[in-house]
Amino acid sequence: MKDLELTEFEKGYLTAWFHSIIYMTNDYEGVDDIVYNGETDWHGLAVKDKIYDIAISYDEEKDRLIGIVYRCYETDSGEYSTDTSVRWYIGGDE
């Protein structure tokens, strides 16, 4: 799997967003479902002129929540489709 190519600004913005949701909000909605039920929580986020999906899930090996960032592209119908062939991780060992 290839890494999603991001600028330093995009990495910083996405990382700050992830940490603000996960670590600065004590009562993050859905955290119990993610940790105890193995669910994934999806969020869409615009950074400048690009759209991203962030999948928040629980990494059992690291015992922490992680975010997996995917790029979204607009389709001919005007909706967005998530490209899962490349990704970038937040919450690992950055």
11-63 pLDDT, tens digit each: 999 999 998 877 665 555 666 667 677 778 899 999 999 999 999 888 888 88
Nearest to 10 by CA among 49, 56, 47, 45: 47
d(CA 83, CA 30) in angstroms, rounded, equals: 24
Task: State residue 41's pLDDT score.
Answer: 83
Is 94's pLDDT higher than 50? no
| DSSP bridge pairs for 12 | none
pTM, full prediction: 0.83
d(CA 14, CA 24) in angstroms, rounded, equals: 15
- Burial label, 6 (beta-carbon count in 10 A; 0-12, 13-18, 19+): middle
Q: What number is the average pLDDT over the span 85-93? A: 84
